[in-house]
Every structure is written in structure tokens, then in C-alpha cells.
Amino acid sequence: MFAESWDLTKPTMADDIVREVGHVDILIANLAYPQHIPSRSRETDADLEYAMQRIMYPLHRLTRAVLPQMLRRKRGKIVVVGSATSLRGRKGGVSVYGAARGAQHGYMKNVAMEVAPYVNVNATAQTYVDNLTYWPMAYRETEEFRERMAENPAARLATGRECAQTVLFLAGPESDFFYGQIIPFAGGWTV
């Protein structure tokens, strides 16, 4: 098992990683970047490119790198750890982020249909998960955070363990009948 922070903005990095790792049965693509939230309607082309270089392009590159061996073996799992922002819009200057996450989900659904029944490709759509990349401690002290928590039916942040159990379900044999599915993990926020 490998859990690394490689610079996947480099076009050849995914191929290099898979060459180094070798045999891959399960790819869990948990791609993220620290966000800066611009003022409403001020997201630029550069902001979109930044998001796509960190969210969408690495998913494509990693998938492209592992699929040949999975298809040769006629088995494998790809799990995209995505965001519920692509399932339900929200205000606050995250349209570019939501678009990049939506691109991940669209890509995943189509790849899933192309490689079924041999490779299961599925995703989570999470939010309200306790992680410092998206919920820094300073942000948790703000009125904006309190307003966002008021929109959350669960009224709390999920633990990383709770989220990991959903990802592990998609990575394990229990999900062998799942293809192109997105499981919301958002405390009821996407309902």
C-alpha cells in the first residue's frame, strides 16, 4: 500500500508512480488542494486551470496508468474520493472547485461504463468531513462555518474513520456489483 503526496501536476508522474509501484489492484484517488476562496464571481481562468490540474487531470492520468494492467487481469477497483459540492451547488466562491469535482464524477461514470464488468470504478461525494485542508481550525471559529454547519442535517463533521469506511466499501468485494456509482457522504446535505 502506498499513500504519498506526489506532484501529480506533472504529466508523466502517474506513469512513473505506477512503474515504481508495479502491480495495482486498487487505486484510491484522493486528490485535493488547499483552497483560496475568491470573492463571488471573481474566479479566473487561472483558478479553473489550477483546480483542474490538481483534481481532474491527475485522476485521468492515474486511471490511464493503472487500467491496462487491471484490464489484462480482468479485475480491479478505482475509487474516486470526490466532493458533494458537485452534487449540490453552494454559494461562497466555490464554482471552479465544484466544476473540477463535477468533472471527476463525469469522467468516473464514463470510464466505469467503458471498463465494466472487469474493473469497478466508483466514487464518494463527501463534505462535512473533519480534515484540516478543507476545514482549517481558524475557519471553524467563523460565522460562515456556523452557517454552513446549520445546513448540515448531521450537525457535525464526520470523522475520517467514518469516511474511510465508505471508501473501503467501494474498494472491497462488497461493491462488486457497483459501476459508476457516486455515494454521497455528506451527513444528509445532498438530499
Q: Give catalytic residues, as residue numbers.
A: 97
The SS3 of residue 184 is strand
54 vs 1: CA distance, rounded Å: 22
Q: For helices 45-73 and 13-21, what crossing angle results, to 10°?
A: 30
Cell of 127: 463534505
Listing DSSP states for 104-118 in one string gives HHHHHHHHHHHHTTT
Cell 474511510 sits on residue: 164
The SS3 of residue 161 is helix
> Residues 155, 188: contact at Cβ < 8 Å?
no
> Residues 28, 171: contact at Cβ < 8 Å?
yes
> Which 8-state DSSP code applies to residue 142?
S
